[in-house]
Structure 1
Amino acid sequence: MEKPDKEFTIQEALDMAVDHHRAGRLSEANNIYRLILDKLPNQPVALNLNGVILHQSGNSISAINQIKKAIESNPNYVDAHLNLGTVLMDLNRFEEASECFSLATNIDPNHSIAFNNLGNAKFKMYQYEDAVVDYEKAIALDPLCIEAYTNMGVLFKEEGELETALKYIQKAININPENINSLNNYGAILSDLRQYEEAEDSYKKALSIDPNNIGVIGNYAILLNIIGKKELSLSFFSKRLDLARGKYVDNLDLPQFKYISKSKIKHDIEQFQFLKSTYKGDVRFENLVDIYSKLDKEITWPANDAEWVLLSKSQRERIADSYNRSVHIAYAPEISGGALNKNLDAVAITKNYFENKPGIAFFDNFLNALALKKLRQYFMESTIWYDFSYSGGYLGAMYTDGVACPLLLQIAEELRKVFPKIIKDHPLVQMWAYKYDSQLKGINNHADIAAVNVNFWITPDVANTNPKSGGIIIHKAEAPLDWNFNSFNRDEEQIKKFLNQNQSGNIKVPYAENRMVLFNSNLIHKTDNIAFKTGYENRRINITMLFGNRVNN
């Protein structure tokens, strides 16, 4: 490393490094931090900020070690505790992060950001009441703390207390009318309250400030579909996908690009092999099979196939233009004349739904043959299976992150017309797809934050080795309306206790290709045991649509 011509004091060198760091010149900043550490190996500020750059560069484990050294050098260094907590939050190590932020508040009880961050960690651990206390402390210490007001709004939105959520977000906007995060959340809450015109205004204002904000673009796309502007909605979904997964992605330091799992790489290799055999003249897929297969062999995988592994810098560079990117998106147009099976007996299905209180029905031959074929092609070919965060090892594709396509929006629209007494005026608010390997464990008991669930399967029946299983189990027990999101969606012990006390029975719906299950979203349900054949074309694919929200059910 080159030595500077002039000798600077440590403080002068730190000031220069920080200036570079704030301007995004990470290499220049890090060079100075390392020069300082060559002279003073225990200099806490240089250790802390060098750790921050390591994290920003994708080396989070080394970042943790470096920031811990800063804390060892100066145990009362609040910023180091906060930065360590931030790194741990990015790694989903929320309990450890909470400890770091708590230490920071003990050292400086007047640090509003420390309390706000502590609230965030507790929010992530679903400790909602404690999170509210910390956010309130942050606001008491700094009445202009936009982050705390916005976080309170998000928390109350998740609790279903929309009017309270709106008040907190409004306070954040009053402080800074151009805060993108506040405007985005304000639009989302207004949309849940069905104040669509005001929601659109909020999204438009946010996009006038930052036209490429993917969070706002995704939420605005959902709203546009709700208010009947489907073509414009699809253009925004496409724009969001291009910005988040396309050729010119701004930020490749996100966890979704830095980490991988055995389950994820196995799927991606199989998908590239499938695309290679489908598009024989396209050498891209042949090259990707080779690159990913070599990477698979060189990584030392943990015993748990779902556990994340940090990619090295050289590994990330090899797959940077393909990993979790929209390499190939199949064409899924609307079906002329309709996508649903014309022979569906909507009257009988609706009668069945209401007789199976509190609302359950399932039936076969949901889609017509062409729609089923096109939809299966879309999910088999499209490289949209970006979410590998599930402990069961299955993969997810989300509404705003590749799932939205003309055919699925058509299906949702037709469902509302065919089943008006069930879906009523509830809009499509969320949609996703999951893809399972042959023996993976499915989703545990939970309810969803919606009014009506639509769930259907598109993998051929020949893939399922047990025709009596592989589908869904729906308990005839509605989650109490005073339960928060964690209680009805995540807290397995509380749900188990509730089901044991309730003893309401359940309906087991076995897997079948093109079978649709329609039910009250407040009903607790789980994926049944899965035993499918091995091989990419045999992977179980289910698609879920959520209509309305729990509050308005």
Structure 2
Amino acid sequence: RFNRGNIGGSIEAMNEAIKLNPRYTKAYLARSSANFMNKRIGAALADADLAIASDPKSAIAYAGKCFLLSEFGKQGEALGVCDRAVSLAPNNAMALTIRGLVATRLGNYSIAAADLERAISLDPNLYYAYTNLALTRKAQNNPLAALNFARRAVQIAPQSPGAQSVLGQLLVATGDYRQGLFALNRALILNPKIAAAYRARSQAHQALGNTAQAKLDNTLARQYALSAPDGLIDDISFLNQ
């Protein structure tokens, strides 16, 4: 049900699983993922706590909680939870990726890059890591490296709205407005609620003289700014693995 987009139905099934086994860690993690996809971050965080309570040694449960705290804007608290996840599983690529995301949001770019590069060495197909590393390299004023990582993320996961959005943002930032619009349009077809994609598209349209479209995209960016993540991680279905 989850994989087919029936998020409500998947939550109902997970509720039944938890009734049958209240210590079923994977069910709490799966329900946490589903709640996040339903924009119920508080419920998702509560489920992550329940997963940790049922299995205090679950690295992925701590990684999930770290990501959710980060989405709430609690970066300092998130970092401590991510440290716990990595200490439990030093070779878990997803835990390293999420800690890298948090470090990027905190402005600790060299630390973020180390985590993300380590994650890629462990799992070369983890496109989340490439997307976040692209943003880290951008923050480090290395636009060429940033674009290369973003393109790699899109190559691995062309259906990822987050990867397409980041590529589009970087192309616009380097002045390649038409290619940037192509990637941003693709991202917004896949997920029409990515505020950062609208902001970048507004900038591209403004540069190309499409003032009316730029104004509309700027309005949409404000509309979705508080209702959707910026696409750094498209969903947390990794909790279902």
SS at match of 1:130: helix
Q: 1:130 offset after TM fit, Å?
A: 0.7
Residue number among 41, 59, 68 corresponding to 1:87 in the alignment = 68
Q: 1:125 offset after TM fit, Å?
A: 1.8
Q: 1:64 offset after TM fit, Å?
A: 4.6
**Structure 1 residues 96 and 22: CA distance shift in structure 2, 3 A:** farther
**Structure 1 residues 224 and 145: CA distance shift in structure 2, 3 A:** same
Which string of whole-angstrom CA distances, capped at 9 and with x for unpartnered residues, describes residues 230-259 of structure 1? 1232343455566x38xxxxx96x69xxxx
Residue number among 19, 22, 26 corresponding to 1:35 in the alignment = 19
* Residue 239 (structure 2) aligns with: none
SS at match of 1:110: coil
Matched, 1:155 2:139: no
Matched, 1:212 2:196: no
Q: Is the 8 A contact 2:143 2:170 kept in 1?
A: yes
Letter in 2 for 1:148: A
Q: 1:21 offset after TM fit, Å?
A: 9.8
CA distance in 1, matches of 2:3, 2:177: 44
Which string of whole-angstrom CA distances, capped at 9 and with x for unpartnered residues, describes residues 474-525 of structure 1? xxxxxxxxxxxxxxxxxxxxxxxxxxxxxxxxxxxxxxxxxxxxxxxxxxxx
Q: 1:34 offset after TM fit, Å?
A: 4.4
CA distance in 2, matches of 1:191, 1:20: 33
Bigger shift: residues 158-167 or 228-237: 228-237
CA distance in 1, matches of 2:221, 2:84: 39
Residue pairs, 1:118-517, within 5 angstroms: 118-207=99-188, 209-210=189-190, 212-215=192-195, 216-238=197-219, 244=224
CA distance in 2, matches of 1:218, 1:142: 31
**Structure 1 residues 155 and 42: CA distance shift in structure 2, 3 A:** same
SS at match of 2:90: coil
Larger Rg: 1
SS at match of 1:189: helix
Q: Which has the higher strand share?
A: 1
Letter in 1 for 2:145: T
**Structure 1 residues 20 and 229: CA distance shift in structure 2, 3 A:** closer
**Structure 1 residues 41 and 133: CA distance shift in structure 2, 3 A:** same
Letter in 1 for 2:168: G
* Residue 98 (structure 1) aligns with: 79
Which string of whole-angstrom CA distances, capped at 9 and with x for unpartnered residues, describes residues 73-101 of structure 1? 32222232122222222222223322322
Q: 1:165 offset after TM fit, Å?
A: 1.2
TM-score after normalising by structure 2: 0.76
Instruction: Tell me the percent identity.
Output: 21
Q: Is the 8 A contact 2:60 2:95 kept in 1?
A: no
**Structure 1 residues 67 and 153: CA distance shift in structure 2, 3 A:** closer
CA distance in 2, matches of 1:206, 1:21: 20
Which string of whole-angstrom CA distances, capped at 9 and with x for unpartnered residues, describes residues 96-152 of structure 1? 322322332233333211110010111122211110000001100111111111111
Letter in 1 for 2:61: A
Q: 1:227 offset after TM fit, Å?
A: 1.6
SS at match of 1:140: helix
Q: 1:210 offset after TM fit, Å?
A: 2.9
Letter in 1 for 2:16: I
Matched, 1:68 2:49: yes
**Structure 1 residues 214 and 47: CA distance shift in structure 2, 3 A:** closer
**Structure 1 residues 33 and 52: CA distance shift in structure 2, 3 A:** farther
* Residue 380 (structure 1) aligns with: none
CA distance in 2, matches of 1:134, 1:194: 29
Q: Which has the higher helix share?
A: 2
**Structure 1 residues 66 and 141: CA distance shift in structure 2, 3 A:** same
Letter in 2 for 1:35: K
CA distance in 2, matches of 1:107, 1:32: 29
CA distance in 1, matches of 2:2, 2:212: 46
CA distance in 2, matches of 1:117, 1:229: 37
Matched, 1:78 2:59: yes
**Structure 1 residues 138 and 129: CA distance shift in structure 2, 3 A:** same
CA distance in 1, matches of 2:10, 2:25: 18
CA distance in 1, matches of 2:154, 2:111: 24
**Structure 1 residues 225 and 23: CA distance shift in structure 2, 3 A:** same
CA distance in 2, matches of 1:217, 1:59: 23
Q: Is the 8 A contact 1:20 1:29 kept in 2?
A: no
Q: 1:20 offset after TM fit, Å?
A: 8.7
Letter in 1 for 2:101: N
Q: What number of residue pairs does the alignment pair up? A: 226
Letter in 2 for 1:217: Y
* Residue 237 (structure 2) aligns with: none
Which string of whole-angstrom CA distances, capped at 9 and with x for unpartnered residues, describes residues 27-62 of structure 1? 5135314422xxx444433444455566657472x7
Backbone CA RMSD of aligned residues: 3.3
Matched, 1:23 2:6: yes
* Residue 235 (structure 2) aligns with: none
CA distance in 2, matches of 1:101, 1:21: 30
Letter in 1 for 2:192: N
CA distance in 2, matches of 1:177, 1:48: 26
